Structure 1
Amino acid sequence: MSISVWLGRILFALVWGALLANLVWPFPGKGFALFLILLFVLLAIHLLQLLMFVTVYGDKIKWSRGDYWQIIVFGVIGWLAILQKQPRQKTD
């Protein structure tokens, strides 16, 4: 699953790059407004995911500051990366 996490991170980096490039160099026509709306929707969804993950798994997982940022930037892909680095628990 590590390869899929890295591919997801690359994909999200490209999406964020396009959305933030719109702020620096506005796209012509209605593209600026569309990409601005998409930027706010993506940020809102990732913040909602962060709220859900911290609420549900806040006491079960040891969180670091980087984990919060990973979910804000990469969403579910960041969550998968956090789960990968957690030690496995025995189910005996």
Structure 2
Amino acid sequence: MSAAIWLGRFLFALVWGALLANLVWPFPGKGFALFLILLFVLLAIHLLQLLMFASAYRHFVQWRRGDYWQIVVFGIVGWFAILNAQPQREQELKR
């Protein structure tokens, strides 16, 4: 599962890189507008996921500050990483 999470993070990093590169070096023609719309859609979807996961699983998952950013940046892949880290976090809590 860890390899899949890192692959997903890498793919999302590429997508974010392309979308943010459009802000610095605008793509020619209608590409600029398309990538700008895609940037806002991706950000809105990830913020909606954060709202859903944080409210629905607030009592079942031990949240850390970076977890919120992980969902905003990586979406569902970040959520899988948080769930994957839960057994280790529970062990740390028991110590």
Residues 23-64 of structure 1: CA distance to partner in whole angstroms, max 9, x if unpaired? 000000000000000000000000000000011101111111
Percentage of identical aligned residues: 76
CA displacement at 1:72 relative to structure 2: 0.1
Q: How large is the Cα RMSD of the aligned pairs?
A: 1.2
TM-score by length of 1: 0.94
Which one has the bigger helix percentage? 2
For structure 1, the residue ranges without an aligned partner over 5 or more in a row are none
**Residues 1-92 of structure 1 correspond to what in structure 2 (within 5 A)?**
1-87=1-87
TM-score by length of 2: 0.91
Query: Partners in 2 of 1:80 and 1:26 — Cα distance?
Result: 33
Amino acid at match of 1:11: L
Query: Partners in 2 of 1:65 and 1:27 — Cα distance?
Result: 35
For structure 2, the residue ranges without an aligned partner over 5 or more in a row are 91-95
